[in-house]
Amino acid sequence: MIGLKATLNVIDNSGAQIVECIQVLKAGTHARIGDEIVCVVQKARTMGVQVGNQQAVQKVKRGDIRHALVVRTKKEVRRPDGRYIRFDDNACVLINNKGEPIGSRILGVMGAELRTKKYSKILSLAQRVVHQVRCNSTAPAASAKIEDIVSQISKLTLLETSDLISTLKTRLNITEVAAPASAAPAAAPAAEAAKPAEAVEEKSVFNLKLESFDPAAKAKIIREVKAMLGLNLVEAKKFVESAPKVLKEGVTKEDADKIKKALEAAGGVVKLE
Rounded distance, CA 9 to CA 110, Å?
12
Rounded distance, CA 87 to CA 76, Å?
8
At residue 8, the pLDDT reads 95
Residue 139 gets which letter from DSSP? S
Rounded distance, CA 32 to CA 111, Å?
10
pLDDT in tens, 141-186: 556 677 778 778 877 887 888 888 888 888 888 876 555 555 555 5
Other CB atoms within 10 Å distance of the CB of residue 145 = 11
Domains and CATH numbers, the chain: 6-45+60-130 (2.40.150.20), 206-272 (3.30.1390.10)
Name the nearest CA neighbour of 123 among 135, 132, 113: 113
Rounded distance, CA 77 to CA 144, Å?
13
Residue 2 gets which letter from DSSP? B
Q: Which residue has better confidence, 247 or 35?
A: 35
Helix, strand, coil fractions of the chain, as percent rounded to 5:
30, 30, 40
Side-chain-side CA neighbours of 203 within 13 Å: the count stands at 12
- Burial (CB count within 10 angstroms: exposed 0-12, middle 13-18, buried 19+), residue 210: buried
Q: Which of 40-54, 147-161, 204-218 has the highest mean pLDDT?
A: 204-218
Q: Is 207 helix (H, G, I), strand (E, B) or coil?
A: strand
- Burial (CB count within 10 angstroms: exposed 0-12, middle 13-18, buried 19+), residue 86: buried
Range name among 168-177, 218-227, 229-238 with the lowest pLDDT average = 168-177
pLDDT in tens, 69-127: 998 888 887 777 777 777 889 999 999 988 889 888 888 888 777 776 677 788 888 77
Query: What number of residues does the chain have?
Result: 273
Name the nearest CA neighbour of 113 among 74, 154, 145, 84: 84
Amino acid residing at 94? L
Other CB atoms within 10 Å distance of the CB of residue 51 = 18
Dihedral angle, C-alpha 126, 128, 130, 131, nearest 10 °:
90
Name the band, by pLDDT with cuts 50, 70 and 90, for residue 246: confident
At residue 178, the pLDDT reads 52
Side-chain-side CA neighbours of 269 within 13 Å: the count stands at 7
